[in-house]
Amino acid sequence: MHCLLVNFIKERNNVNNINKSLLNINDKTTTHILGYPRMGPQRQLKWALEDYWKGRISQSQLLNEAADIRQSHWQIQLDAGLDFITAGDFALYDHVLNHSYLFGVIPERFKPQKPDGQLDTYFRMARGRSAQGDDCAACEMTKWFDTNYHYLVPEFEPQQGFQLNADVWLDELKQAQALTPNVKAVLIGPLTYLWLGKAQGEFDALELLPPLLDVYAELLHKVSELGIEWLQLDEPILGLDLAQSWKQGFEIAYNQLKSASLKLLIATYFSKLDDNLTLACQLPVAGLHIDGINAAQDLPNVLDRLPPYKVLSLGLVNGRNIWKADHARLLQVLTPFYETLGERLWLSTSCSLLHVPEDLEQETNLVPAIKSKFAFAKQKCFEVTALASALANYVDSQAAEPVNLNTSTQTVNAQAQGATQTSIQANVDTLKHTIEHLTEASFARSNDFKTRKAAQQAKFDLPMFATTTIGSFPQTKDIRQARLGFKQGSLSQQVYETIMRDEIQLAVSEQEAIGLDVLVHGEAERNDMVEYFGQQLDGYAFTDFGWVQSYGSRCVKPPIIASDVHRPNPMTVRWSQYAQSLTNKPMKGMLTGPITMLCWSFAREDISLKEQAFQLALALSAEVLDLERAGITMIQVDEPALREGLPLRQAHWQGYLRWAVDAFRLSVAKVKDSTQIHTHMCYAEFNDIIEAIAQLDADVITIETSRSNMELLKAFEDFKYPNDIGPGVYDIHSPIVPSQTWMAQLLQKAALSIAPEQLWVNPDCGLKTRAWPETREALTLMVAAAKQLREQHQTVNA
């Protein structure tokens, strides 16, 4: 990709043969970002939301906190010198949910019998519960494209009406305008919003485009009345494989919206445009944003297709990773665009900064040589403006005479780019040799599933509809305080480990009392399913405040793969061994798989993702074998991010799936037939990767299905899944406790697609974020539902 850009640069310079002394170097390169994180550097929004849900603060206190967070984020953008601050991207829970509320897409079950306030309806859609009103099933949640952010899926009815509820959103724009007149508003574009939704019934969501465009036009008029000049409309589906009807939808939509008195900037990101590039360039709008990181291959063709009136915004500061931009390389990429476009060239981040932590300045414990390589959201704002300034200086200096970038304004950046090459010790030769000498046998179990299942059943003697959980149990305040005390040194290791053993003993006794068939140790000692392992692997770096929103108030703190990864010591064996000593029932060892470790970390950019995945797999393989030797013969290797890692373009799927499946298999291939390997996957559409899931060859897979009412199991109707499967029967992301009848009905529905002999019974996901009373009640009812199904099956087969 880099070579392609280099050739493009040389070619463009040769063709243009520009006399640089005649360049108008005073042309201003406009700077902006596509969006900013929402939580606040200290996760202020998280704490405010959770306090509001628990009744500790009022609605006005929550909204005041949100306003303060927005204000501080806009001030950062101003301090960075960005030409526009970006407003309208903030959300109390999710920006897609914001749009559903904005356009009146509120399913009937969420509409209160009596008025209960906008926020109550909003949060009931997100969580199934609010301060007032009855509980109900929350909106389905799924991954935002190929990221680890989750959005609430809009629900469309055949006769869906749209009604503008824009006061709150417009008030946020006014708040921004009070700070500066240079405000760029942002919305999800109409085509992407429809694409993200789910049509309830047999109809195409695209049929709703005409009435949706009417409310968009109404909203654009209101934005224009505020005196705002530019509106960013996010259309990331332009990076997907689109049917012709959707391409025509773009032409219809933007030919209608072009009559607005606003200047529209269509923003694309996450993927290259490929065959949609010409469409994107020719749409009748004032500007186009292209992700210069993930769509770098599109850049050589953009200038030839962009109309002479249109702004081109290039996202060359990576909005999805924490590595500092390489200014020296980017200046060479930018030069031909600057020479051709002048003031029509804008600079930005590749996508919203929602996907990176907020402020590197808080990180005082990172090794300086490593820290110098990083840039978080705040720093990336400054990177955008620094790159724009450097571009003007660079072209100016080139007009006079060539300069050495390392002695120009880029010295600090260039030094940072090379810092870790000498500061981080790598194990390149050893790992490379191991990976290069892997054979087919390295990726395969000794025998097929049928043989293994017989050996496992002889060992475990499990009933039909065996019950288990996904891994974690409630992380109470006492657990969190103990971990914090140990980390800060106020608790000794001995005291801390005694507390953790007590928590494990509690989790085991609770599970035995409930009657679960296969137990877990509860993961009290773990802060995060990726960070916990990363802290025990060489090659990782960690932050103290590197939080990133996953959904709602839920944040994760991704570790950073900074160099080659290997396992110096066992990571989980002693905890699992202790838990197994407390029960005669099978105890699952719990590990995070290599693809999830990779996808939920900030990955390196200097070696391939495949090589990083195999390094992680080799480390996990050693842990799996140590668990087995310690007597843990059920081992769960979670891969919730398997589908998340898929390239957005289907043409690239097979290449990714090949090495992703191989990485998982490499992790578990060496265990005995009688050792049962489990895996778990989070919200995702499985239909299009069902064969790859089967190729993982896990003995048992558990998946999240309850929010979709088991619709995700449609993938298993046409494809006969060979191994065992546990479809989740209740949604752990909601505090609602489902009834035994509801769970039994879901299991009966699952049994229509999957043979009862293959079915396990489990929640959707881990129970870390739930409280013990609801967890205890829900699992008790789940076990009762499983027993009900066993009795019904025995009666039918009697």
The DSSP H or E segment spanning 770 is: none
- CA neighbor of 190 nearest in space, from 136, 244, 238: 238
Task: Give the tokens for residue 443.
Answer: 């990726």
2 has catalytic annotation = no
Q: Which residue from 727, 733, 746, 728 is spatially nearest to 774, judged by alpha carbons?
A: 733
The active-site residue, picked from 150, 289, 733, 793, is 733
C-alpha distance from residue 622 to each of 515, 566, 569, 666 (Å): 32, 10, 9, 10
Give the pair of three-digit tokens for residue 621.
């393989």
d(CA 193, CA 187): 10
Longest pairwise C-alpha distance within the chain: 92
Q: In what helix (H) or strand (E) does residue 589 lie, and over which residues does it extend?
A: strand 588-592
Q: Residue 412 contacts by C-beta under 8 Å, 6 or more apart in sequence?
A: none
- How many degrees, rounded to 5, is the angle at CA 499 between CA 494 and CA 503? 145
HSE-CB of 196 using CA atoms within 13 angstroms: 29
Closest CA to 382 of 304, 327, 455: 327
Q: How many CA atoms lie within 13 Å of 740's alpha carbon, on the beta-carbon side?
A: 10
CA angle at 589 for the pair 513 and 764, rounded to the nearest 5°: 65
- State the Cα–Cα distance between residues 702 and 725, nearest whole angstrom: 6
Q: How far apart are CA 228 and CA 540, in angstroms?
A: 45
| Terminal-residue alpha carbon distance, the chain | 64
Cα distance between residue 619 and residue 639, in whole Å: 15
Contact criterion met (CB below 8 Å) for 778 and 738: yes
Distance, CA of 758 to CA of 464 (rounded, Å): 8
Pick from 308, 315, 253, 317: which is nearest to 286 by CA? 308
Instruction: Retrieve residue 322's tokens.
Output: 């924490």
Instruction: Show the tokens assigned to 157.
Output: 């009815």
Angle, helices 327-341/411-423, rounded to nearest 10 degrees: 150
Any long-range contacts for 608-616 (C-beta under 8 Å, 24+ apart)? Answer: 609/645, 610/659, 610/663, 611/435, 612/561, 612/565, 613/659, 613/660, 613/663, 614/435, 614/438, 614/659, 614/662, 614/663, 614/666, 615/431, 615/435, 615/539, 615/564, 615/565, 615/566, 616/537, 616/565, 616/663
Dihedral sign (CA 602, 604, 608, 614): negative
Write the single-letter amino acid at 313: S
Euclidean distance between CA atoms 488 and 340, whole angstroms: 56
Question: CA of 560: how far to CAs of 8, 504, 533, 600, 605, in Å?
Answer: 32, 29, 12, 9, 11
Q: Which of 33, 101, 46, 102 is nearest to 73 (CA)?
A: 33
In this structure, are residues 2 and 10 in contact, taking their beta carbons and an 8 Å threshold? no
User: 210, 439, 418: which is closest to 324 by C-alpha?
Assistant: 418
- The residues that are catalytic are 733
